Amino acid sequence: MREVPLSKRVQRRIRARGEGAVFAAKDFLDLGSRAAVDQALSRLERGGMIRRISRGVYDYPRRNERLGITLSPEPEEVVRAVAKRDASRLQVSGAEAANALGLSTQVPARIVYLTDGESRRMRLGDQVVELRHTTPRNLATAGKVSGTVIQALRHLGRQHVDQSTVRHLQRVLSEEDKERLRKDRIHAPAWMQPVLLEIAGGGSGE
């Protein structure tokens, strides 16, 4: 039986993931060499099926047929693909972290992720995504809810973290999240540690 060309196999996998999918060239290395995969993706990009977002990162654009427009990819999907490409860690930060936990209703125009990879900015439609290189300490809780809580409280600032903040997080966090928060509070600034312990249900001190 004649072997299916690499470009066809790559195309099938992309279609199977559906419109809106974001992926890195690394996702296809089980199908062929890096050079062959890059060539196949370049061919699909030239054909208009996929869109290049950054080096080695693409999306399968989602269209709004009613409006007749091509939508921007989801920022979180893009940064995850970039992190996979670079083998780096990520932690959402700033206003987006507060927004994710319901501590703010503000939709930030710029979404910031801390990373141990290179700093860079990407524009996705009307939104700017910034990857900001940081210290290992700030990434000790990367990818965990505890990390998002720490970054959200850091964004709010000590003077704006009060009992209403504590009660809100006590409501929205699971018991598993609270246990993780209790363990990970050592990675937070000193002023924040008693607050995290209180959120976790351990009072303001041990």
pLDDT digits (tens, 9 = 90+) for 64-90: 888 888 888 988 899 999 998 999 999
| pLDDT(206) > 60 | no
Question: Which residue, of 18, 38, 70, is where some domain finishes?
Answer: 70
On whether both 92 and 192 belong to a single domain, the answer is: yes
pTM given for the model = 0.79
Question: What are the beta bridge partners of residue 114?
Answer: 91, 132
- Domain contains 83: no
Rounded to a whole number of angstroms, the CA Rg of the chain reads 21
Domain that holds residue 146: 88-199
Confidence of residue 2 (pLDDT cuts 50, 70, 90): low
Number of domains comprising the chain:
2
CB 13 within 8 A of CB 47: no
CB 60 within 8 A of CB 50: yes
> How far is residue 89's CA from residue 141's CA, in Å, rounded to a whole number?
10
Helix (H, G, I), strand (E, B) or coil at 58: strand
CA dihedral 166, 171, 173, 175 (to 10 degrees): 110
